[in-house]
Amino acid sequence: MSFTLAIVGRPNVGKSTLFNRLVGRKLALVDDQPGVTRDLREGEARLGPMRFTVIDTAGLEEATDESLQGRMRKLTERAVQMADVCLFVIDARAGVTPTDEMFAGILRKMSAHVILAANKAEGRAGESGLLEAYSLGLGEPLRLSAEHGEGMSELHAMLEPVAKEHAERAEAAAPVVDVDVEDGEEHESWEPTEARPLQIAVVGRPNAGKSTLINKIIGQDRLLTGPEAGITRDSISLAFDWEGVPTRLFDTAGMRKKARIQDKLEKMSVTDGLRAVRFAEVVVVLLDAEIPFETQDLRIADLAEREGRAVVVAVNKWDLETEKQDKLRDLREAFERLLPQLRGAPLVTVSAKTGRGLDRLREAILSAHAVWNSRVGTSSLNRWLSEMVEAHPPPAPGGRRIKLRYATQVKTRPPGFVVMCSLPDKLPESYTRYLVNGLRDDFDMPGTPIRLHMRSQS
């Protein structure tokens, strides 16, 4: 099973041309398939060695009246729902039109995974349209010429992670009954829904209390919809309702029978942790209050950050602590020192045994998830950028001041930003850190990895 790409955008931007280029002669019209709208075409695409399904929303005239606009919207929504990723095409020569903006609005509202493409940009054509495209707030536009086949390797590169993630999920999830293989990007919002639960992994060293915690969370009275017996070799997931929030928990070693030999267990839980981290949106790093921040804990927390997951640190066995105040201060200090990359991530004390602190843990998980999904408006982002630059201007290597011109959020889950910069290679790492920390503080995004890329203007 390969992934599905939907090509969306207003009429005449070149969607069909691109569709035909991707599908080649093996074009499959699905008009006559039951249940598929006549307006959607589907085909098997090839891009280098990559194979995937492509859906085209062509075949509509520019909307002049409301009913047509409505149809265009519906069609786009349906295509987005069917797809793992959308290629939103605009005409670089025409620049951004109001209809383009309407489409961008639909895609944003649906939180679709969007690759923005500015087509008809062969040679150096459409340069200003390409820059204008940033204003759509959908990230860096891909320069494309469907007719001349330019930009295809860049498109390939942008689809690669989608293909990889899709393959990994499909493979890993296959043996588990009832695992949501869907990437889920198609849902209206990132609030967890029945179909798209909140995905959590609890990771930590052996004996931290993972299975005790999970059992406590799931408890007796909760509805288990997941395959509690469907244990696979690699990872297992449990679906349940966490006080009104549909949740899926990816377990590592916790719920399965433990190996007797400690060595084996140590080894297993790192690999398992890794896998669980890949599945999760929020990773709960569970520490044992008696032996916190062991090497293994640090490794897994770092991995979660690098994989772009939201992280919550939970310190377990708090019931055993007598000097709670002092202990907490030490823990916070150690956390800051040992995991600076997770600055601001919530640290919650719990007792899996007694159930104390689990409400706070739940709150922390939900807010970390919300932050991870958050989007900063382009105008407030740029106001913020000019304030940051004014407060602390970038250096001027060789007498030429580095200019930061424009910032845009290119993705969520986790939040990712691009800043247009006159000399990106000359900008010191410390300045990027200054901006990342500023974003974190000023837009209230604690505990989520923030990606920030500097791009040169042309």
Indicate the annotated binding residues for GTP: 9-16, 56-60, 119-122, 204-211, 251-255, 316-319
Closest by CA position to 76, among listed 105, 47, 49:
105
In the complex, minimum distance from the CB of residue 297 to ligand GDP, in angstroms, rounded to a whole number: 11
* Binding to ligand GDP, residues 205-234 (CB under 6 A): 206-212
Selected range binding ligand GDP among 35-43, 347-355, 391-399, 423-431, rule: CB under 6 A: 347-355
* Binding to ligand GDP, residues 171-210 (CB under 6 A): 204, 206-210
In the complex, minimum distance from the CB of residue 371 to ligand GDP, in angstroms, rounded to a whole number: 26
Selected range binding ligand GDP among 10-18, 73-81, 179-187, 391-399, rule: CB under 6 A: 10-18
Pair of tokens at residue 284 = 């709960």
Nearer to ligand GDP, 83 or 352 (CB): 352
Nearer to ligand GDP, 115 or 421 (CB): 115
Q: Strand order in 451-456's β-sheet?
A: 404-411, 416-421, 451-456
Nearer to ligand GDP, 17 or 378 (CB): 17
Closest by CA position to 457, among listed 395, 414, 403:
403
In the complex, minimum distance from the CB of residue 125 to ligand GDP, in angstroms, rounded to a whole number: 7
Nearer to ligand GDP, 12 or 456 (CB): 12
Closest by CA position to 316, among listed 438, 163, 424, 212:
212
- Please give the DSSP secondary-structure letter assigned to residue 113: -
Q: In one letter, which amino acid is 64?
A: T
N-term to C-term CA, the chain: 37
Closest by CA position to 339, among listed 403, 374, 294, 375:
294
Q: Which of 145, 199, 373, 448 binds ligand GDP (CB under 6 A)?
A: 145
**Which helix (H) or strand (E) covers residue 19, if one does?**
helix 15-23
As a whole number of angstroms, the distance between CA 66 and CA 391 comes to 48
The answer to whether 217 touches 254, Cβ cutoff 8 Å, is: no
Indicate whether 12 belongs to the interface with ligand GDP (CB under 6 A): yes
In the complex, minimum distance from the CB of residue 205 to ligand GDP, in angstroms, rounded to a whole number: 7
The answer to whether 393 touches 401, Cβ cutoff 8 Å, is: yes
Nearer to ligand GDP, 145 or 409 (CB): 145
Q: Which of 3, 5, 14, 86 binds ligand GDP (CB under 6 A)?
A: 14
* Binding to ligand GDP, residues 104-143 (CB under 6 A): 119-120, 122
Cβ count near 301 (within 10 Å): 26
Binding mask 228-267 for ligand GDP (x = CB under 6 A): --------------------------x-------------
Selected range binding ligand GDP among 13-21, 68-76, 416-424, 428-436, rule: CB under 6 A: 13-21
Residues with Cβ within 8 Å of 287's Cβ and at least 6 positions away in sequence, in order, are 204, 208, 293, 294, 297, 313, 314, 315, 316
* Binding to ligand GDP, residues 43-62 (CB under 6 A): 58
**Angle 202-247-212 from CA coordinates, rounded to 5°:** 40
The answer to whether 452 touches 438, Cβ cutoff 8 Å, is: no
In the complex, minimum distance from the CB of residue 124 to ligand GDP, in angstroms, rounded to a whole number: 13
Closest by CA position to 272, among listed 258, 261, 260, 287:
258
Number of residues that bind ligand GDP (CB under 6 A): 31
Q: Which residues bind ligand GDP (CB under 6 A)?
A: 11-17, 58, 119-120, 122, 145-148, 204, 206-212, 254, 316-317, 319-320, 351-353
